[in-house]
Structure 1
């Protein structure tokens, strides 16, 4: 039994399972490494020397099974794989915790680059950066064009009251990590609640759609959308709002959280919104609300990280500066709503 494998992955046990369930798939001993970058679920790159696969499993010692539901992720990529939406080919779902200590799934490895920062985009130049950002919009339109019922996802979520539930959920999340005064955040939350838009017809929503959750091929097109753990049936404009938020400069140099907006050639938010509207046929007149909601959601996520940092529960670089970013996100959210009211 090999002992140099990463925590949470036993290649010998995985090989045994694959040999039973997918004979002829693996042709030699498996080795694996943890892929950095995921926020919560663990992702491993696994190979037998010729073939390559990816294994996704919940964090070690996870408690909330629903928060890291492997069945859900596997179900959505299995449903979308035959469509125009680029996702990795699913191989296997294993809910037997005896194998790796938690449920997990295996999918095909997809070649591509996850661009996380403006600095990573800079070397490919302005024209290619522009192509990549526009490809992100076009692929989102393809995702939202999928008829959930036609691909077996008709019961994948509860679209009725989606925005109201989302707003309440993130409000509760904020209360759970509230240990300092955050001027403006209650005003932002309350204004979002007062101005709740009417949702369009529900679609499959990714929930965390941004450049570093997709793999870009050498032709600058999207090879695969990854990290489906937040996906559901709901209001498609929440995905657009988040994408727009990540396309706006933060205005904070050396930030531990970055958007790709500062990369030369990156289209401005207005162009991304216009392209989405033209290609999807959806009414995007309320996109400011969805963008402000994205600022609020990220402010809550960052405050949660800051709260855990103050309790000594986070390890790594940059966590000491996360707390300073929260007011920046609140301010952006309030400004976005103010512009909406004035416009």
Structure 2
């Protein structure tokens, strides 16, 4: 770790705040590094040479709405920490923007690896890969078993009309990034709207549940679920549908969107669904809708990235190929819905 702080993290101000709010917590000068990954909020590993913590803050140049994310993330991990759901222990939440220029929170640093690709999983071998992915399902069942009211999260979201609002939200997101014809996308959106399933009882929903949003230790146990910025109260099968989508082999060589599904030993989506159904007791007969919705949602996200690329607003490798992936996701969505 570097003694020169990464952008967005003033270590002297952070140390002063921790000394005031948690006297004795820090024992020595702080060093930090930016942890890559995550959807939008910035994540830093911070150490005093003895202990280690994680700091989460909004992106640089954040807007007011993003400040709310810090409170939501801190609230949900604080509520879930006493439960069986593996989350880091929260240390503190800071609303005072004079400290780091934005609200932030601190949590314990958890050991483990976020596996982002089949190549990263390969050294584990088929048996350990299988155990890790099945553990992902088991942990999702644990999350969805939490009683929101008992955990103090009874008002964490608005479950009524959840699926309708989600479909509307991503439809608006699509309209905001339209600059080319996309065959089948409107057909998929309309078909999803015509066949909305009846949601089961609401649970805490992670919103972006996949293998690279958890940490897995050397014993193939999940030590922590990360990136709670999209969490809410809603339909638990949206988490499962997204997991099934990410567990489907795309057979796209050199794809800029990496998945772990091609790793040797990775369970097939049908096995993941069957395991979730058995352990949770939920009816999963409508899951094709949820999986088709996940394909639609990712198609919209990818189209948004492609749109920003055409405007010259993205930097880095691979963005030039994002656009050609979108029709693949649309086709998967349509096929999934028709087969369901």
Question: Shared fold (TM-score greater than 0.5)?
Answer: yes
Note the alpha carbon deviations across 1:231-276, whole angstroms, 9 max, x for none. Answer: 0000000000000000001121110002211000000000000000
* Matched residue count: 339
Q: Which residue of 2 aligns with 1:173?
A: 173
Could you say what secondary structure the match of 1:204 adopts? strand
* Distance in 2 of aligned mates of 1:314 and 1:53: 31
Alpha-carbon offset, residue 338 of structure 1: 1.2
Please list every run of 5 or more consecutive structure 1 residues that lacks an aligned counterpart in the other structure.
none
Q: Residue 69 of structure 1: SS of its match in structure 2?
A: helix
Deviations 1:96-120 (A, max 9, x none): 1100000000000001000000110
The separation in 2 between residues aligned to 1:294 and 1:315, in whole angstroms, is: 26
**For 1:248-287, what aligned pairs fall within 5 Å after superposition?**
248-287=248-287
Match of 1:30 in 2: 30
**Secondary structure of 2:53's aligned partner:** strand
8 Å CA contact 2:4, 2:31 repeated in 1: no
Provide the TM-score with structure 2 as the length reference.
0.98
RMSD in angstroms over aligned alpha carbons?
1.1
Distance 1:74 1:165 in 2: 24
Matches of 1:92 and 1:130 in 2, distance apart?
A: 36
Task: Flag structure 2 segments of 5+ consecutive residues without an equivalent.
Answer: none
Query: Using the alignment, how far apart are the partners of 2:155 and 2:225 within structure 1?
Result: 21
Q: Secondary structure at the match of 2:140?
A: helix
* CA shift digits 1:270-294 (9 cap, x unpaired): 0000000000000000011000000
Deviates more, 1:38-47 or 1:222-231: 38-47
Distance 1:162 1:70 in 2: 22
CA distance in 2, matches of 1:21, 1:313: 40
Q: How does 1:228-307 map to 2 (within 5 A)?
A: 228-307=228-307
Matched, 1:154 2:157: no
Does 2:85 align with 1:99? no
Mapping of 1:74-153 within 5 angstroms?
74-153=74-153
Equivalence for 2:188: 188
Asked if the contact 2:3–2:30 (Cα under 8 Å) also holds between the matched residues in 1, the reply is no
CA distance in 2, matches of 1:66, 1:187: 33
Which residue of structure 2 lines up, in the alignment, with residue 44 of structure 1?
44
Whether contact under 8 Å (1:42, 1:59) holds in the other structure is yes
Moved over 3 A (4+): none
